[in-house]
Amino acid sequence: MRKLRERKENKRAFKESGAFQCLVLFWEFFKMGLFTIGGGMAMIPQIQQVAVKDRRWLSEEEMIDCIALCQSLPGVIAINSATYIGRRVKGIKGSLSATLGVVMPSFIIIILAVTFLGAIGDNRYITGAFTGIKAAVSGLIAVTAVKLGRQSLTSPFQWILAAAAFIAIAVFGVTALWAVLGGAMAGIIYTAAKKGREAEK
């Protein structure tokens, strides 16, 4: 009985330790990197599911802030998000664990793809599978955009800004970085003007 109790206590202590948290971060982001196809944005639904709903590492609002920040920074949004969330959960060690987890599947798959590309590159079933996967990923991104929009778009100003950003990117080809920076500047100006009007009253 004593040994069993000690094992349970050791198991509980390990789960509460930083090493276990780092392993969890690595494993969760490894799975995301392994099963997400379609680019960095395609990973956002998975990140939201794991970080917000399953593990509760972030709130909905913090997730929106994470996406905005990671999209505006240089680099791939999937790696930026892993680094950001890992840092929030377990500091520098968490950042390294999550980043390594999300990068490793791509590294392994690229090596395998280069090795066997000649054998599978012209396979019509493989091509068909990727066609279906791309369509499904587009749907996942759309659903996530709607969910995040419900959380963040709470005023007419925000709706107008979101529409302007969509038009700027989709129609005029403005990069996401400039859209995010433009939104930040518009938000600062709007808040300053609003406070000015309130002060006059």
Digit-coded pLDDT (tens) for 105-155: 988 888 887 777 666 666 777 778 778 877 887 787 787 778 777 777 888
pLDDT tens digits along 12-43: 554 666 789 999 999 999 999 888 776 667 78
- Candidates 188, 185, 160, 180; CA nearest to 69 is 180
DSSP result, 50-82: IIIIIS--S-HHHHHHHHHHHHHSSS-HHHHHH
CB-facing half-sphere around the CA of 14: CA atoms within 13 A:
8
Six token digits for residue 24 = 């969890």
Q: Cβ(43)–Cβ(106) under 8 Å?
A: no
* Identity of the amino acid at 191: T
